[in-house]
A = this chain, B = another copy of it.
Amino acid sequence: MNLQFLMPTRVVSGPDCVRKNAPVFSALGKRALIVTGARSAKENGSLADLEAAFSSVGVEWRLYDRVMSNPTIACAYEGAALAKSYGADFVAAIGGGSPMDAGKAIALLACQDISEENLFSGNYGKQVLPMAFIPTTAGTGSEVTQYSILTSDKAKTKLSIAAPLLFPTVSFLDARYTRSLSRVTTINTAVDAFSHLFEGMLSVRANPLTDLMAREGMLRILACGDRLLADSLTAEDRESLLYASTLGGMVIAQTGTTAVHAMGYSLTYFRHIDHGRANGLLLPAFFRFVEQKDPELAASVLSSLGWDCSGRADKFLVPLLGQRESIPDKELRQYASIAVKAGNIKNCRVILTEEEIYQMYRSSLK
């Protein structure tokens, strides 16, 4: 048994956990940079709760609300400059993966002078601002990972800063913030979480503890399948999905993601297909491929889900994702040439050639 496990982020959850645990923030410092997107944190109540918590314990803050979907490298440097000029003691990020991923890079760049060329080198000093994160979607798992995924226009894809010092200090899970998400975003983020859990089981770094968490998370998402489709999630479902998505983060923090994510990035970069949706479009074809190439591995995933064949992935995902995008062959060839170079392709227990990647794109998006 080769078990490797590291999860230094403190997780606190439950209704109103941000306000109930206000002293946790003052323990991190006196001044915070709050990192959000333009709107959702203001609309779902999370920003107001955080500001109330800060006020109650005398923490001052400055708001950086300019994080876009799939945040760019420039955004991380802009936020870090603000953190430095404000003298922030810690970073509080609220949102889906974008503000949290940007928040991690900001926390790093506020303490260390790292050039853009070296940003993805993996070689950093030890300094980083403490981080308090609040996920408001149930998908990314970024609240418990050491990854900051940024979009590089130079590489024409997403790149990952991965370093143990990027684990958030503490994350607050309050599923009430996910209630105002649209049906489509709720589905796409749940599918993203499902993909993290699924890919974790197929990673060369999977171990009994990550498999245990992956199975639990996937079963929880599957249990909500009908109500995800019907847009009738209960408050309990929302809690369960947020928990599942955090499990997904804990899993990929150990295992990394694999082929589905590697392939999905081009769909997002070139076609602006939502990240979770992109994974969901590709996952069934990938699972069929795994079943052909490594039937034993596929069987272990199937049995842990109580599934009888890889087609059950289609049955779960196809209705949720609806009409598929159609993308010309020539573009798919280009995406395959990018994906085959991605690090997470090699992280998979079933290794794909460029031709196989192309075929998988084709069967998913014809």
A363 at the interface (CB under 8 A from B): no
A240 at the interface (CB under 8 A from B): yes
Task: Please tell me which one of the listed residues B1, B3, B243 contacts residue A1 in the complex, with CB atoms under 8 A apart.
Answer: B243
Query: For chain A residues 233-251, which have a beta carbon within 8 Å of chain B?
Result: 239-240, 243, 247
Task: Give CA–CA (A3, B143) in the complex, Å.
Answer: 14
> B11 touching A5 by the CB < 8 A rule?
yes
A311 at the interface (CB under 8 A from B): no
Task: Give CA–CA (A12, B239) in the complex, Å.
Answer: 31
- Given the complex, which residues of B lie within 8 Å of A5, measured CB to CB? 7, 10-11
> B3 touching A14 by the CB < 8 A rule?
yes
Task: Give CA–CA (A3, B10) in the complex, Å.
Answer: 10
A213 at the interface (CB under 8 A from B): yes
A81 at the interface (CB under 8 A from B): no
A1-45 interface code vs B (CB 8 A; 1 in, 0 out): 111111110111110000000000000000000000000000000
Interface centre among A1, A173, A239, by most chain B C-beta atoms within 10 angstroms, is: A1
- Given the complex, which residues of B lie within 8 Å of A51, measured CB to CB? none
A216 at the interface (CB under 8 A from B): yes
A212 at the interface (CB under 8 A from B): yes
A208 at the interface (CB under 8 A from B): yes
Q: How far, in Å, is A193 (CB) from chain B's closest CB?
A: 15
Interface size band for A: 20 to 34
Q: How far, in Å, is A8 (CB) from chain B's closest CB?
A: 4
- Given the complex, which residues of B lie within 8 Å of A173, measured CB to CB? 3
Query: For chain A residues 182-216, which have a beta carbon within 8 Å of chain B?
Result: 208-209, 212-213, 216
Task: Give CA–CA (A173, B1) in the complex, Å.
Answer: 10
Copies in the complex: 2
> B208 touching A212 by the CB < 8 A rule?
no
> B6 touching A10 by the CB < 8 A rule?
yes
Residue of B nearest to A217 (CB): B212
- Given the complex, which residues of B lie within 8 Å of A6, measured CB to CB? 10-11
Residue of B nearest to A10 (CB): B6
Task: Give CA–CA (A2, B239) in the complex, Å.
Answer: 10
Task: Give CA–CA (A14, B3) in the complex, Å.
Answer: 7
Task: Give CA–CA (A12, B205) in the complex, Å.
Answer: 12
Task: Give CA–CA (A7, B250) in the complex, Å.
Answer: 11
- Given the complex, which residues of B lie within 8 Å of A3, measured CB to CB? 11-14, 173, 243
- Given the complex, which residues of B lie within 8 Å of A1, measured CB to CB? 13-14, 175, 239-240, 243
Q: How far, in Å, is A224 (CB) from chain B's closest CB?
A: 14
A242-264 interface code vs B (CB 8 A; 1 in, 0 out): 01000100000000000000000
Which 9 A-B pairs give the minimum distances between C-beta atoms? A8-B8, A2-B14, A3-B13, A5-B11, A1-B239, A6-B10, A7-B7, A212-B216, A4-B12
A-B contact pairs, 10 of them (CB 8 A): A2-B14, A3-B14, A4-B10, A4-B12, A5-B7, A5-B11, A6-B11, A7-B8, A208-B243, A212-B213
Q: Which A residues are closer than 8 A to B by beta carbons?
A: 1-8, 10-14, 173, 175, 208-209, 212-213, 216, 239-240, 243, 247
Taking A3-B11, A6-B10 as known contacts, 16 extra A-B pairs with beta carbons closer than 8 A to each other, sorted by chain A number, are A1-B13, A1-B14, A1-B175, A1-B243, A3-B12, A3-B13, A3-B173, A4-B11, A4-B12, A7-B7, A7-B8, A8-B8, A209-B243, A209-B247, A212-B212, A212-B213
